[in-house]
Structure 1
Amino acid sequence: MEFQTERGMLSCAPSRLIVAGWTGRDTAAVDHHIAELAALGVPAPSSVPLYYQCAPALLTQEPAIQVLGTGSSGEAEPFLLRQDGTIWIGLGSDHTDRDLETYSVAHSKQICAKPVAGTLWPLEEVADRLDSLKLQSWILENGSWVLYQDGTLAAIRPLTELMAGAGFGDGDAMLCGTLPAVGGVRPAAGFKMALTDPVAARSIEWAYQTRVLDVVG
């Protein structure tokens, strides 16, 4: 994979991909969400937060991904990469098969590609204001872009805590959890997302299309 940085292009091939789940900072809200999902048949996590293991090959910067069936959806998340001792922050989508989620959350994470934006910032540059970074996403619905997620990283557990819990090391990449979906989780043919640093007046943006494959049995 290749990323644009202020220090030039960064080429890397992560050796491990971690997808952190149940990372909300409000523990009462996380517990309530777990109970809601359990009522829909989604198994409760064995611990909170939980660090799902996925294949690094799932990471993609292609403009479109292919999914099996119509039951998947994206979710914007901060993306971390550690390369040659430097930790970078960017933006990714933990695209997940919601139908498979009722069988196994771990399997639902592994089956879908994970789109990642092509820009990274050094984490040290924003470390003192991480909670102020704004995370947003939009979905293409009935021909129009509709706000789907909107909040700041203050809603997610501190990234230093997540890195420590995951044993985040050199060559690792991690998706760090997400925000609630406005109007509920649902699929869409188009997904776009942004991570904004209001102090430096800059954003990382990315968009991708979802193409549905027929389920043949």
Structure 2
Amino acid sequence: MFLKSVEIRRDEYTDEREYPFSIPAIKALDKLHFHSNVTFLVGENGSGKSTLLEAIAYQCGFHTAGGGRNNEYEVDSSAAILGNAIRLSWMPKVTNGFFLRAETFYHFASYIDTLDADVLSNYGGRSLHHQSHGEAFLSLFKHRFGKKAIYLLDEPEAALSPARQLALMRVIKDLSADAQFIIATHSPILLGYPEAQILNFDEQPVEEIRYEDTLHYIVTRRFLENRKTVLQELFED
């Protein structure tokens, strides 16, 4: 494990009424400690988990629309506001890694297509645009990811079927002894990764939560075990 903690520097605040400092989880956050090679950030949409992940990517020197330290392409980004207000604690510091942002992956794939064949070989040797969204994600994970690095993944399940989410878990397992993963997700499958740290952004301050206590697990299990009852309750006038 390389990144030990992330801290918000209160002296860097502008106005807590302004975004992203107005987000309850960010407003209440002082310092987060990481004690596992695999950490998940969970919470409802707008809870701040992706915002914090982007800020960590910014401090790592990764492209905040997706990529590593050496990827440069033009896409609008707002992560610098919070990125300038956090401090990362490393032991030891690593410069290798990647930030996957599902919603801007198309732009990253277009950028890769402009590079030479040697670079493309690091992504499976085939244009990411010439694969399905899920295939492109897995090609990235299998060919671009390596050891002694930190990987920040923002909702990687967005393009992955349940079977391919399991394939991603295998990639994480193969690398996690020598790499660190911090993943913002809504996937109850990914959250089941053994011995992962799960941080709940629906609570202020952010706190650790057991897998079985996450809403993702509770809601999914209830639906699968009581589908007819859940749908009846949902659709009744």
Give the TM-score normalised by structure 2: 0.23
Query: Could you say which structure has the larger radius of gyration?
Result: 2
**Which one has a larger percent strand, Structure 1 or Structure 2?**
1
Give the TM-score normalised by structure 1: 0.24
